[in-house]
Structure 1
Amino acid sequence: MNGTFSYELRLNRAGVLSARVYTPARGNGELSVQLNPRWATHNLYFKAGAYVEDTTGPATEGGKVTFSRLITMHQPNNR
C-alpha cells in the first residue's frame, strides 16, 4: 500500500509465462509457469489496472492505481 513497484510479464515461445516484480523496499521476485500446450492456439492479452475482488463493505469503498509508465511490446510469431 502506498508504495511503488515495477513488474514485467513475458510469454516465451515454449509457453512459459513469467512475472517479475521489482520493489525498492522489499526486494525482487519471480514466478514462472508452463502453460498448457492447448493455449498455443489462442490469442492471449494483458490488461493493466486495479481489479478489486472485494464484494463486502460499503459501495463507496475502492482503490487507486497510478501508472507512471506503461510499455508494451508484441513480437509476432512468438510461439
Structure 2
Amino acid sequence: SGGQQQRVAIARALANRPALLIADEPTGQLDAETGLAVMELLRAVVRSENVTALVATHDPQLLGLADRVLELSDGHIVEQA
C-alpha cells in the first residue's frame, strides 16, 4: 500500500542517521487517514532520533503536527504564529 511504501521510505531515509530529513509532499498520494498516520510516525521518529525534518506540504491538516510552520508566499518566507 502507499502508506507502507511511505513508512519504508522514511526508514530508509533515517538508516544513516542524518541530522536533517527533507520530505517533499510525503503524504501527497495517500488518503487523509493514512497520510496522518505516516506524519505522526515521522514526527515520533524524528523526535526520538533527534533529527530535524523539513517537510513541504499543501495539506493544511498536517500543520498541527509541526513544531514550526513557514509559508512560502509570493516568493517570500513567512513564519506562522
**TM (normalized to structure 2)?**
0.25
More helix by share: 2
More strand by share: 1
**TM (normalized to structure 1)?**
0.25
